[in-house]
Amino acid sequence: MKNSVSFLFYLLIVLSTPLFAQSPYPVLDNCVDPQLQAQLQASLHKLALNKPATDKKLALTLVDITDPQNPKVAAINGSEMMYAASLPKIAILLGAFERIESGTMKLDRENRDLMTRMIRNSSNQAATTMLRKVGKEHLAELLQTPRYKLYDPDRNGGLWVGKEYGKSPAWRRDPLHNLSHGATAMQVARFYYLLQTNRLVSPQLTVEMKEMLSKPAINHKFVKGLKKTHPDSAVYRKSGSWRQYHADSAIVERDGRRYIAVGLVENQSGGQWLTRLIVEMDKLIFSGQTLAGGAPASIGVSG
């Protein structure tokens, strides 16, 4: 009798567990593909970018999500927190859509226009207006919630917006690295992976978010590289630049394949590096063959 009661109690717990708690998608951190990792390191050797990677002035994450339930990941300094300029505006976009989903903000013409300009044109004025509408404290808490964990001390940080996009001082720098606008390449990749698999907001709102990330209006870095080599690619993208700091991030879709690419650089030539890097990363996804250019250097700072 006692065993029967225990079994019924256990069965009740199992049946009452929400189905969405059992995600069919893996944790990206656990999906490093040895071949893709070796190829990414070889591409750095080919482009003579080993030293900035070793010096932690360059961070990359590349994720093949053609099969979203079986992603293949490669990363160089993937968990290195770096200043990311305008790239963290994607966090404000998430905050706004979370408000829309909860019914505390409307997806009206004004908000749609503000968010679109914030992403496609990287408007600082639009970003600051949307940040105030979302709420600074609310966004900081949202990024750290168990639902998203897009800023996570166990992952060395992640997406952070601790300052308006203007001359006003920072209101709260990130707790681990004292950055006003920060990111890690792996956490940005997680943002796009969650977006693509409808785990940021509802599928309907995911379509709206991707539309705002599409049709980038600034032709540099990843967009410039792909326009030269594969102008038929669909690119959902957010970049950032300030002084020697350059960042870019995107979901790229073409010919039945889909991947996430993220790059963070601290160097005056970082924009040019990212233009060259996206061409090589794109080759890795579509060729499946090790790049020429010699053996990969042992950087030892992946993921």
The C-alpha atoms of residue 265 and residue 277 are separated, in whole angstroms, by 11
Phi, psi for 89 (deg, rounded to 5): -60, -20
The answer to whether the CB of 92 falls within 8 A of the CB of 127 is yes
Q: What is the structure's pLDDT at 52?
A: 98
pLDDT category of residue 23 using cuts at 50, 70 and 90: confident
CA angle 77-139-240, nearest 5°? 45
Q: Which residues are CB-contacts of 272 (< 8 A; sequence separation ≥ 6)?
A: none
Cα(247)–Cα(266) distance, rounded to whole angstroms? 9
Which residue reads 């200043």 in tokens? 83
Go through the domains of the chain in sequence order and give each one's CATH number: 25-160+170-287 (3.40.710.10)
Q: Give the pairing type, strands 157-158 and 160-161.
A: unpaired
Beta-bridge partner residues of 254: 257
Query: 6-15, 52-61, 217-226 — which is least confidently predicted?
Result: 6-15
pLDDT, one tens digit per residue, over 261-270 is: 999 999 999 9
pTM over 0.75: yes
